[in-house]
Amino acid sequence: MTKKRLAYTLWIAVIALFALAHAWHLRADFPNFSPWEDWSKYTDEGWYGNAAIRAHLFGNWYVPGDFNPAPAVPVWPALLWLLFFVTGVTIQAARGLAVAFFFLNLVLSYKLFRERGPRWVGLLAVTLLVTSPFLYSFSRLAILEPLLLAFTLAAMNLAIRLHRYYRHQTWVAILIGLLFTGMMLTKTTAIFLLPALIWMIALPVRQKRRLIPISLSAGGAAALSFSAWMLLVVSKGLFADYKYLFFVNVYKKPHGVWPRILSFWWSFHGGLWADIVLIPLAGLLVLAAILFRKRKNKLGQNWTNGLLNDPLFSGSVLAVAGYLAFMTYQNHPQPRYYTVVAFFCFFIVVRVIAQLLYQSDRERRIGYVLLALVGVTALFNGAWTLKYVFHPQYTWINAARSLTSYIDQHPNGNRLLVSISGDEITLITHLPSLCDDFGTEELPDKLAKYKPGWYAAWNDMDPGTLEDLHVHFSLEQVASFPAFDDPDRNVLVLFKLHPLPHGEVREPEGPNLAQPLPGDKIDIDVD
């Protein structure tokens, strides 16, 4: 075995070990005391898989009036539904599926780079992905981003190779359109990745007269397949649930120039969540590629030659720009959104370094300096990731199980739990639940219909929720369970719900309902 082959073998082995580490300790918490406080670790895994969870546990995926996101984002729960036939309903199985898509994303990322570059470039990109502690943390949650990236990278791999399929370009374009529908039915933010995908379809088409039929084929396939799904949603009477997903994701929008600038700044600045070195470096390299696109060296060469017209580089830039535009528009950046940004920023860094290393002496030296910086960052990130790998904690699993055990040992009428983390608890312990915060019916109406026996809150009691609960119940605080590290979300507090005497129903929004009343036992703050 030559030294070069041995080096590649060892490199691939290290990548494989880091990748496999993502599948270890799947029951463990999202890393406690990490820099990323994200709601998804105690809500999203249950919410977006609840159709599959309910179908297997209770025989019906749909709970009228509750939060039912499957009509808007059906692909992930459909895959979970199939998986649970084999594994049963467990959080390990759901997270394992997300990790499987992360593995697929590594392969697809490598394939993107191998289309036009040497093997080491693809391996460097994959190395940055597997050593990232940020991606380690979020790729192990059963959330929508790993699947969204899988569809996106698969479509990009086809788009970047369109020139190879001259005789079959129309059929490949149709497949890309269907993959985009998969993206949209996985996570609706996929619409902000569409400019990148359109650009990557158009750029490799060498005969421009072919561009119109290819574009029509891709766009038609996406429009027809998405319309077919929407027709099914409407015909089944689920359009209200479809619209509701957009309603709950409406946040206060900035008005005026300065608030919009601030919104963009927070979205742009949020990239530091993903990596404090590689993300800023990606931005600087994009800026350098634009500023120096016409500047030539002493030999009359320009190091950016071909870079801006490379679909991998320019498509990655557009993907990052699209997602930043989404977060700016929403005015609500969350760490998990940057999993998409991180992938494409890492691609930008690797692609520019590869460009520099094949230039003249000065540019090559800059490339080696950047390569050294990236190598040191990967070593630091790898050590950080291994810290999480070898120090798992199980506070959330323990809290959910203890809560369910308490309910089973202290019967209180209906075993049904109301909680913002209810679907997550159902995934872990199979305890039936309703969401107190989201649903197409108002909470007092849901309470009257389903008559739950229990309520769980994080740390303190929301006055609005207390007001809704008081319409039908008095509350008795009975237990608390520590979980996670967030000071606002580190104690799960359990309440018994006692129906009012003689079936009394208080007037919603009546006086004093948003504060503790006689008959309540509430020790936590109402805030």
Q: How far apart are CA 309 and CA 372, in angstroms?
A: 26
pLDDT score at 300 = 57
Q: In what order do the strands lie in the sheet with 433-434?
A: 433-434, 417-418, 454-458, 491-499, 473-482
Residue 155 and residue 180: Cα distance in Å, rounded? 7
First-residue to last-residue Cα distance in the chain: 67
Antiparallel, parallel or unpaired: β 417-418 and 454-458: parallel
* pLDDT for residue 298: 58
CB 178 within 8 A of CB 134: no
pLDDT tens digits for range 93-103:
999 999 999 99
| Residue pLDDT, tens place only, 126-184 | 999 999 999 999 999 999 999 999 999 999 999 999 888 767 889 999 999 999 999 99
Classify residue 271 by its DSSP letter: G
With beta carbons less than 8 A apart as the criterion, state whether 423 and 433 touch.
yes
Token code pair at residue 193:
């990745």
Return the percentage of the chain with pLDDT > 70, whole number.
Answer: 98
pLDDT score of 115: 86
3-state SS, residue 252: coil
Do the beta carbons of residue 136 and residue 381 sit within 8 Å? Answer: no
Q: What angle do CA 143, 146, 151 make, to 5 degrees?
A: 125
Residue of 136, 147, 132, 172 lying closest to 31 (CA atoms) = 136
* pLDDT of amino acid 296: 67
Q: What is the average per-residue pLDDT within 74-93?
A: 98
List of residues 6+ apart from 94 with CB closer than 8 A: 45, 49, 80, 83, 142, 427
User: Which has the closest alpha carbon to 113: 355, 379, 369, 282?
Assistant: 355
Confirm if 63 and 440 have CB atoms less than 8 A apart.
no
pLDDT band at 333 (very low <50, low <70, confident <90, very high): confident
d(CA 61, CA 81): 10
For 231-270, b/e burial (b = at least 16 CB within 10 A) is: eebeeeebeebbebbeeeeeeeeeeeeeeeeebbeebbeb
Angle among Cα 465, 38, 72 to the nearest 5 degrees reads: 75
| DSSP per-residue string spanning 393-433 | --HHHHHHHHHHHHHHHS--S---EE-TTHHHHHHHH---E
Q: Judge contact between 338 and 134, C-beta under 8 A.
A: yes
Q: Exposed, middle or buried by CB within 10 Å (0-12, 13-18, 19+), for 106?
A: buried
| Beta partners for residue 418, in sequence order | 434, 455
Res 297: pLDDT: 64
Q: What's residue 165's pLDDT?
A: 75
Nearest to 436 by CA among 461, 459, 414: 461
For 395-503, CATH number?
3.40.190
The confidence score (pLDDT) of residue 16 equals: 97
- State CA 253 to chain mean position distance: 22
Q: Residue 442: count other Cβ atoms within 10 Å of its Cβ.
A: 13
CA distances from 452 to 103, 371, 401, 433, 444 (A): 41, 58, 19, 8, 11
**The total number of residues written for the chain in this structure:** 527
Helix (H, G, I), strand (E, B) or coil at 471: coil
For residue 74, give the 3-state DSSP assignment.
coil
pLDDT reported for residue 306: 83
Q: What angle do CA 182, 184, 190 make, to 5 degrees?
A: 120
Query: pLDDT-based confidence at 81, cuts 50/70/90?
Result: very high
